[in-house]
Amino acid sequence: MMDVKIEQSWKTLLKDEFTKDYFLQIVTFIKAEKALGKIIYPPGALMFNAFEKTPFDKVKVVLLGQDPYHNPGQAHGLSFSVPTGIQKPPSLINIFKELQSDLGMDPSADGNLEKWAEQGVLLLNATLTVRKNEPGSHSKIGWIEFTDAVIKKLSEQKKGIVFLLWGKFAQDKQALIDETRHHVLKAAHPSPFSADKGFFGCKHFSKTNEFLMQRGLQPIDWKLN
């Protein structure tokens, strides 16, 4: 069996996925791209960073992204997040604007969302890799099947998770979620092309914390600095 370098609780949970043909195809495809000298983001050690930072038993919120950032230095395996010191991309700037309007928080100077992940926000991209400067380049190699399995397992084996589905792509995942067990919050994508069509004013940060507190759980401290 392939030894996938992923956090132990997820490794146990997803072990059947790692033996399936589609997962083998992902690995083969990425190895072939690298052999051709293609640059793949995020770096290999950060491919499963979302799982590393948020073990299965800690997941309280799932924030679903689509594709890793495709410019140098941006992707580090957490949806919407960039490493410390990297300029914030436009969608992330809009996320901070909504945080400010919802909770009165000054926008963070930093775009690194690890602090959210460590509190139980699974920052999951549907596709976990991308070719440099080619958005969507790995969206058809099998990752969707893998991350759909992740969402299904969370839905079936946990209760009371808040799923944040921003934009049509994320909202299509609603079918995988048992809404008798979990909360789904939907809004437009925070991208500059759509943020004013229902992302701004969605108040998902305060609503998430209301749901968590109703269940007697610690709310997320969304403040980064």
196 is catalytic: no
Residue 150 tokens read as 């992740």
d(CA 188, CA 170): 10
Closest to 11 (Cα-Cα) out of 173, 32, 19, 202: 19
E-assigned strand segments in the chain: 40-41, 61-65, 121-125, 130-131, 162-166, 183-187
Q: Are 50 and 122 in contact (CB under 8 A)?
A: yes
d(CA 169, CA 66): 7
CA distances (Å), origin 43, targets 113, 132, 136: 18, 11, 17
CA distances (Å), origin 154, targets 17, 40, 161: 14, 28, 8
Q: Which of 21, 57, 67, 172 is catalytic?
A: 67
Residue 216 tokens read as 């007697």
Overall residue count recorded for the chain in this entry: 225
Return phi, psi of residue 72, to 5°: -55, 135
Question: Which residue numbers are catalytic?
Answer: 67
